[in-house]
Homo-oligomer: A and B are copies of this chain.
């Protein structure tokens, strides 16, 4: 692949062009194990955010897979998820072979899952490049995402480095991790590429403002690219215990190792890839992409990303909204009417109704806590 890439680049393609041949070894790993509560009552334990059709006719998960079309085929796409929702994930992703849709035996955050995927990829392709992607984010400009992914694969292939796709910040957000980039950038596929100086955790508001003003920071959207072999080498160096566990699993058959997986995996350290590796390893590059990204972290964020009418309402076509502005209305079936209301989130499902001030959307999880406390399992 590297050879083919170099040949291609020496041919008609310039440095800013992408060599499609470099994609032959690329594997995608979609992280679809999330189980948030902030989209209640639409999201439930068995129907978390990534499975919801919040925007259009496809779920966020389906959109995440769809964005890979022509870049990574279903035969090289892995989806890691939980037992609870695996069957629905299989249902939504009918083109992906179901053996590649993996239910983690226990939720151990991203590092063990990524390590397990790397082992699996290495079984098939010692030169495999893995693209790690979230399943519950929104990308308004998929063409930019695709160019970023191509640029990242080229970098990971050429330089055997770790790559993060960084998002150009559009506001001093305190809810995301940030990436401090080096000064010098080069361009690949029309996108700027920077050496990474530091991964930082979610900042407080003054720090976020400083990051935003400086122009030296990117948002960390959880999109990573590296060779599976490099990932494992890094794990061996920085998380040796985890690496040993994963290698035991790999020797027993990896994702098909049955009881070995069930025994060892739940005892792996519960660590995010950011904490386990990204904050520690050298040789990381960031591809800066202005892809209209949102992690859609709440109903308020979903509102911001939704098409809205001239009164600023995002609502079903048949809703009747009189003197009502800047509301988000989601209804499964019944007619919704509003009079004189503003900045509300109104979500109606078969068995529950939420009416929430838009600025309080981050507190929807408290409703779920209360349902839990009351033992109303059918609403969780």
Contact = CB atoms under 8 A, between A and B. Distances in A.
B360 A323 contact: yes
Contacts of A356: 337-341
B320 A337 contact: no
A325 to B, nearest CB: 11
B341 A344 contact: yes
A357 B337 CA distance: 11
Nearest to A378: B335
A366 B335 contact: no
A367 B318 CA distance: 12
Instruction: Report, as a range, how many residues of chain A touch the other chain.
Output: 35 or more
Contact of A334 (B335, B337, B350): B350
A306 to B, nearest CB: 18
B340 A379 contact: no
A371 interface: yes
Contact of A320 (B323, B339, B371): B371
A69 interface: no
19 contacts: A40-B337, A322-B363, A322-B367, A322-B370, A334-B352, A335-B351, A336-B352, A336-B355, A337-B370, A338-B354, A339-B356, A340-B359, A340-B360, A340-B363, A344-B355, A346-B353, A348-B348, A353-B353, A355-B355
Interface of A: 40-41, 320, 322-323, 331, 334-341, 344, 346, 348-357, 359-361, 363-364, 366-367, 370-371, 376, 379
